[in-house]
A and B are shown apart, each in its own frame.
Chain A
Amino acid sequence: MPVLEINNLTKRYGKITALNNLSLTIEAGHVYGILGPNGSGKTTTLGIILGVLAQDDGSFSWFGDKYGANPRKEIGAILETPNFYPYLNAAENLDIVRVIKGLPPQNYDEILKIVNLYERRKSKFRTYSLGMKQRLAIGATLIGSPQVVIFDEPTNGLDPEGIAEVRTILQNVASSGKTVLMASHILDEVEKVCSHVAIIKNGNLLATGTVGSILSSDMTVEVMSTDAEKLRNVLQESSFVKKIYDHKDFLECAVDQSLDTATLSQHLHDKGVILTHLVSRKKRLEEEFLEITQTK
């Protein structure tokens, strides 16, 4: 069962179509990046699935609707800017999050240490630098240890040092086994933190898949054989295959750029594997990718 299923979401602001029939599926354990230039609809998407914006069309479902109309208590999320009560300190602000989530009283020292705010825990939120605010927001998403965390441009506006610090925190969160959904307009960030990516532009989904297949300079091939097990074994032993991702109907491999499909096909044939499916992808996605970086 997917953690989140988005079906044909559409959102219009007057004449602007901010989201156009967007569909995505996010499985447990994915670290999913939504990559797109400014104004592409990332925040709009997150706002809808977090219940603060109403879609004009389409639907979404969290955890297979296990938690009914309000699944948000099972999710830790920030949207755009960190939003806290400026006259309260870090612990007091975190306590409000805890009460809303309906959790018993707890000590926030551990979370504050993770986001490197322990020393400043008694300072009022309004006295924090942007980086500190952003880190407190990340800390707030960890309260109650939710299975899913959502970040919207978590490094926005930070200096290089702050970016590095936040990224390390994000990488740690991601490797803790949580499902992560992160919006960003920075390719590098998604590449470093995420396992999967959806590229959107002008509210349209351009591409989606593993980061390896979409963002790396390697070529990606989809292959399938009547004997999937044997196919996998042969691929694993081949020197030109860098990585293998499982899909329902095929295997996706990152391979050397220099490899062409004829060679691959011949090689597999020589090893006794008969292919039923062979697609190489590279050009198309690279073009889309270029388009995005140009808009930036």
Chain B
Amino acid sequence: MIKLINLEWMKFRKNSVVQMLLWIFIIFFPTLIFVGKEESLTANNPLLKSGVFFNFPTVWDWLGYDGNWMVFFALGFLVVYTISIEISYKTMRQNIITGLTRTEFFLAKLYIVLIFVLIATVLYAITGFTIGWFHSADPSFAEAMDNDWAIPRFALMSLTYLLFAMFIGFAIKNSGLAVLTYLSYGILLEPMIRWLGHAQIVEEGISKNLYPMNAAEDLMPMPFYQITQNMPNSDGAILLLSYKEAAVTSGVYCVIFLGLTYYIFLKRDM
């Protein structure tokens, strides 16, 4: 395991795209919430008081939603990128010829995913805790941790996004197409399938929310939605999965993505 992680480190530590995106993630994930606060407050939304961004327990929601985007874009992009350039440079093939087994190559990429999840989650925990501690009136550890399992939810959300990215990276051999598919599936394709396809053809109910990117997103949803979810809803549309539903759904997708990735990679010609 150490050998494989070291190998990935040697491959990518000098890659400028990887360096840049990692820095963007590390710098912007903890700070974007401050920008978000300014934006939302100037919008003069009656539902929001300034404190809601930084106080326990709501800081976990807002920071989590910020991280939701950052993990999907920055880290997800990186996962797709670090796999698909190995296909386009043919270094994947050369790695195998040199003596790596396919399973080792697959594991090395899985370790990248797990390390990214770890980095994102630790950053989330530290930032959330720090911001909340300094802004809450009389902070206590119990109050800080009274957050509906926010930290494990964040980890599972990240894992689902990144395993999906890994699957796309392995499945689509053309690197440009892989990145494009990953991004457009998450922000365009899946919402279109859900709202224009599934909701119209199958049903309006909860099943349209059981798609992978949506399930992951609902682990750390947009806090506005949560607020509206609690209000009487005229047309009865279900916007969000409960945390439990989202967690189980995401978990199932994680297993599916992992299994599929390993299966297609183990069999195919390079």
Contacts and interface: CB of A to CB of B under 8 A. Distances in A.
Do A and B associate with each other?
A: yes
B97 A101 contact: no
Interface stretch (A27-35, A92-100, A191-199, A272-280): A92-100
Contact of A100 (B15, B16, B100, B270): B100
B104 to A, nearest CB: 9
Contact of B99 (A86, A95, A101): A101
Contacts of A206: none
B89 to A, nearest CB: 6
Interface stretch (A73-81, A157-165, A236-244): A73-81
B97 A52 contact: yes
B220 to A, nearest CB: 34
B25 to A, nearest CB: 20
B173 to A, nearest CB: 14
Interface stretch (B2-10, B48-56, B125-133, B199-207): B2-10
A87 B14 contact: yes
Interface residues of B, number: 23
Nearest to B270: A52
A54 interface: yes
B186 to A, nearest CB: 28
B11 A85 contact: yes
Contact of A96 (B11, B93, B269): B11
Interface string A116-160: 000000000000000000000000100000000000000000000
A139 B99 CA distance: 16
A79 B89 contact: no
B97 to A, nearest CB: 5
A78 to B, nearest CB: 8
Interface in B96-152: 96-101
Contact of B269 (A53, A84, A85): A53
Interface string B36-78: 0000000000000000000000000000000000000000000
B89 A85 contact: yes
A72 B95 CA distance: 10
B174 interface: no
A50 B270 CA distance: 11
A99 B14 contact: no
B90 interface: yes
Contact of B93 (A52, A87, A92, A101): A52
Contacts of A84: 89, 91, 94
A142 to B, nearest CB: 12
Contacts of B10: 92, 95-96, 99
A72 B15 contact: no
B222 to A, nearest CB: 38
Nearest to A74: B99
A79 B93 CA distance: 9
B269 A51 contact: no
A51 B96 contact: yes
A77 B90 CA distance: 14
A135 B90 CA distance: 17
B38 to A, nearest CB: 38
Given A53-B269, A88-B14, A99-B7, A83 B99 contact: no
A295 to B, nearest CB: 26
Interface in A229-285: none
Interface string A193-225: 000000000000000000000000000000000
Interface string A45-89: 001001111100000000000000110110101110101111110
B97 A50 contact: yes
Contact of A81 (B7, B15, B90, B98): B90
Contacts of A87: 14-16
Contacts of B95: 100
Contacts of A97: 98
A71 B89 CA distance: 24
A85 B91 contact: yes
B267 A54 contact: yes
Given A99-B6, A100-B7, A86 B97 contact: no
14 contacts: A50-B97, A52-B269, A53-B269, A54-B267, A72-B98, A77-B98, A78-B94, A83-B94, A85-B89, A85-B91, A96-B7, A96-B11, A99-B7, A102-B99
Interface of A: 47, 50-54, 69-70, 72-73, 75, 77-79, 81, 83-88, 92, 95-97, 99-102, 140
Closest 10 CB pairs of A and B: A73-B99, A83-B94, A83-B90, A52-B270, A72-B99, A100-B98, A50-B97, A53-B269, A100-B99, A77-B97
Given A54-B269, A79-B93, A79-B94, 15 more contacts: A47-B270, A50-B96, A52-B97, A70-B99, A72-B97, A72-B99, A78-B94, A79-B97, A84-B89, A85-B15, A85-B91, A86-B89, A99-B7, A100-B99, A140-B98
